[in-house]
Amino acid sequence: MVDHEKYMRRCLELAALGAGFVSPNPMVGAVIVHQNKIIGEGHHQKYGQPHAEVNAVKAVFNNHLDAAALLKEATIYVSLEPCAHFGKTPPCADLIIKNQIPKVVVGCRDPFVQVDGKGIEKLRDAGIEVIENILEAECLDLNKRFFTRIQKQRPYIILKWAQTQDQFFAPSDGSQQWISGPLSKKLVHQWRSEEDAVLVGKNTAAADNPQLNNRYQSNAKQPKRVVLDRRLELNYDLHLFDQSVETFIFNEVKTASEGNLKYIGLESFELFLPQYILFQLYLQDIQSLIIEGGAKTLQLFIDAGLWDEARIFTGKARWGKGIKAPEITGEQASNSMCGEDLLTILYHKKNP
């Protein structure tokens, strides 16, 4: 009996290699098996470049003189339904049909309106056997950012902050004081390279002068930056305005583009502010967003119910006073130590 799950797990491992590079596309891995032996594999490596199925088929041709014959007796495993439409690349379903691969095993369906079952339907209409929903939960979780953007028309939202043992977020005088340790800081830099954008409020930008980038890996992808500056009061000497990456400044004063600085004017900062921000970022193809502060900005999104995941570092210090950390409840996914800090990960409880 063929172990479909074994090969699908390999698809997931391959797909994850595309983290941080394929957005706003999904991460996808593909494995081609002939007589219980992998003869080719591939993943979607970068947005606009060939999809996983294309790379897997190419690997077969690169490594086997009898590739065409092998493919006619093979099974291709794909973590996400093969596409059926022309985008930046031709349809992968057509590639499978062209090479007469007789069996396709799919992890989960693609909710994108131009796919959503059409790839599977095209394959079956061509006489290809399709097996669905192998490790479906794992495949869905891998691309939760992509699915959130497609289904909710907003980015996947990760809240991140550090707090003291007595739940203080920052000094009340607006000064900068570190709570988390060096290992936690390195981990945050890695997270930034895995997501599309990082957001902070005006007070955090002024107090901390953050770069909001990954400074620990020279070849890492750098996230876009987002700052809320209602009246455009921030000093232009801040790192956020250094033009190094695309930066969105939400405000009530102007809409303009000045190099990498994109000013997005909103009519009001009073009503539905998180909703307006997220929709504008959705229009900019931002698939995932880390919100790093300040406390009021984080609480704004929490109170609106617009978050998917929270990553909270709790340090060893006790301050006794200061700005209180945001208040949040959710489903606890994990508690683990990161150096001397406790890292708690929560997921938003979904409405039934």
Instruction: For the chain, give percent helix, strand, coil, nearest 5.
Output: 30, 25, 45
Instruction: Specify whether 53 is catalytic.
Output: yes
**Contact criterion met (CB below 8 Å) for 292 and 199:** yes
**CA 303, 307, 309, 313 torsion-angle sign:** negative
Distance CA 189, CA 186 (A): 5
Residues facing residue 197 across a β-bridge = 224, 289
Question: Which bin fits 266, alpha (ψ -120 to 50), beta or left (φ > 0)?
Answer: beta
Distance CA 181, CA 101 (A): 52
Distance CA 132, CA 117 (A): 11
Q: Please identify which of the residues 5, 41, 53, 327 carries the catalytic annotation.
A: 53
Nearest to 205 by CA among 270, 293, 281, 310: 293
Nearest to 274 by CA among 297, 293, 248: 297
Which contacts (CB < 8 Å, 24+ apart) does range 257-263 have? Answer: 263/232
Instruction: Find where tokens 């303009």 sit.
Output: 256
The residue type found at 41 is E
- The DSSP result for 128-158, as a single string, is -EEE--TTHHHHHHHTHHHHHHHHHSS-EEE
Distance CA 101, CA 334 (A): 41
Cα–Cα separations (whole angstroms), residue 174 to 169, 261, 324? 11, 26, 13
Q: Count CB neighbours of 210 within 10 A.
A: 18
Q: Which residues are catalytic?
A: 53
